[in-house]
Structure 1
Amino acid sequence: MPFLSRSLLLLALLLDSASVLHAQSEAAIQQFINEATQAGGGSVVIPPGTYVIEKGLVLKDAKKIKLSGLDRERTILKLAPIAYAEAVSDTPAGASELPIRRSQNLRPGMQLRIESSGDLDSFTKKPKPYHLAVAKSVTGDRLELMAPLKHPVPAGTQLRHADAPNLIEIRGSSEQILIENLTIDGGRTATDPPVRGHAQLCGIFAAGKYDYEKGPASLVKGVTISRCIIQNCFGRGVTFYAVEASTVERCTIMDTNDEAIDFDHFTVRSIARYNHIARSLTGIELNDATDCQISGNDIRSCGTGLNLWRWCRQPGLNERNRILDNLFASTTGNAIQVGKDTGANVIVDNHIDQAGKNGIVLNSVGQTLENNRFEGVKLKEVTGP
């Protein structure tokens, strides 16, 4: 990957002997990223330290940018603690106050995502699993809202910051981005609630422009994520939406509340290889992804090892993916599951050890299975049509 020779070394961020650097360092890193983007390319090298990221670092329309740490284990980018609360009791639609508990970091003016049924979704024709409100004030165990609730809120419902950041976002027409040699920490702790951030609170989130029904309008291209430690994310460790010819390789990804690696809507010709993945809801997910390769990964102690499935309706999605020579060990659910309306996917030379349910579940015909090895599968080694 070619870069300009200029290297922006961020030693100027080390203003004192403190090992934890806050908003000033985040703003400085973003400024260096912006300068490299405006210059048409460049390297941003981050020295050791723990950098608390509150707003998220953004690469937009960036080309030939390298973001790297000097020491993988000691150069840590870490999301600030999550903002959330929990509803104490049932609250009806029309109310302007919510009794809450376990409140953390909520503030006036913050838009909140309330994790209970909301408006009808125009795509699925079902209620969305959330609705939005804006905090007016937070006093002890009471949350006052700017406007009355449109939908009821059952007791125990989680509330969280609706605009919570991803740690690193890659957007627009970005191309040839290298992220390497960093620890990327989502900030999740053992005392936090089991929030699933999905497309928020991810370690690295890359997305082109797309529409569920019209498909992709533009693709992010040529992202490489290499030799990083990615951990403690409420959302995905790495997620690609409408991304082409990109790679996640030789990373350690662990303790994510969602997928460790997600190749999502309209991602094509991308690769996940030689990664070590542990203790995530799903090790690797392919959703509307095509011509991708998943090879040589070590996936342990996840809920599902690999999930390949369809969401969008365009023809030709979820095809010709190659799942080769991976280890799936000690999944609590199925090691590999392949959903409906998928085809011509190749599942070869994988080792499935101690699957808590099935080894391989097929819900579509036309897949190729060869030379997969099974040990200690609780239910069936292979099931489906």
Structure 2
Amino acid sequence: MKKLVALGLTLVMGVASLTGCGSSSSSVAEKGGTIKLGVLAPLTGTNAEYGKGFEIGTKMAVDRINAAGGVNGYKLELEVKDSKGDQKESSDLARKFADDEEIMAVIGDFASGSCMANAPIFDEAGLVQLSPTASNPDYAAMSKYCFSIMGRQDGEAPFFSKYILKKYLNAQSVGVIYINSDWGKSCYDNFKKSADEVGLNIVETVNYVQDEKDFSSLITKLKAANPDTICIMDQGAVPQIINQVRGSGWDVNITTLGPGTSEQLIDLCGENAEGIYLSTPFFFDPADQDSMAWKDEFVQKSGFEPTVHPACAYDCVNLIAKAIEACGDGDVTRQSIRDNLANVEMEGVTGPIKFNPDGDITRKYLICSVENGEYVIKEGFDYSEK
């Protein structure tokens, strides 16, 4: 991983074939002033852990950039709004950002569904929506102003079925429980397609709506199908489901697709989290001093351990900063940020970032498990190639 000091302070490496900047947009940053970036994040509700991570990760990046003199003489400023994990709330805030000519780009939202609901708004306004975490494969293609750096569910979900369940765990029968959202449905559809291709036997599938608390009836239905392994597809509700599965006395193998290496999952589940398996595009490697220094700073500012999600949010700010830097002496506009962003290449905290033509990126995945209350890597990024 490249040195984080260089990433946060210089902002000069890794920009390839960037376009020039003009003044075609009506939103133009005042020379030598402040460039405002909007942030949409679920600061309250089921996914508040991830939203708070967005808030802290983006602020860490802005603080480093501004301490180093800003970008081309501009300082960066964040305007953070709580989308509450609700699509309507997110879209209402997206409209406010779109109508505010001082907002030059938006980072967020967390959920694919919210990002997809916001896409027409940002498209009409000619305003970038760069999501750290949206992974629905349909999202980025909705508008040339939509971007994401998490990777796509048509990459991670097949990896999960083929390489975690089928190859690594040798699961013979699988039960699936997933959140009934745009993200959850895309995740399951891509998972199911891959499972059918490799002969993975899905014996039961159940789903639930956002903010569900009682999963007992769904667990009973899964248990009746007698799978040897279950897969939970969600972020915020995963700890509750795990605890209710174990609380029912069911000693089934548990895997989860969505939360990554969330420390909150371990904190909320305790011994119930032991032995679960999951995928993640990133892991804070204790052998990597730069990675651990970033993690330590995040913990100091937040009071909790980071997942990949705040690291992605941090990288998003630096991507926008590189797009601004590429303007040189030209005007910084909403349009010029979009045009330059599409061509940025960067080694971020979360690894190499290079946008596909649609505006998302392709990632590889690790297999991790919880052992003795800690996440450990079971297989590296090359496991799918072995």
Alignment TM-score, normalising by the size of structure 1: 0.27
- Give the number of the structure whose residues are more often strand, by fraction: 1
Q: Tell me: higher relative CO, structure 1 or 2? Use CA pairs within 8 A at least 6 residues apart.
A: 2
Alignment TM-score, normalising by the size of structure 2: 0.27
- Give the number of the structure whose residues are more often helix, by fraction: 2
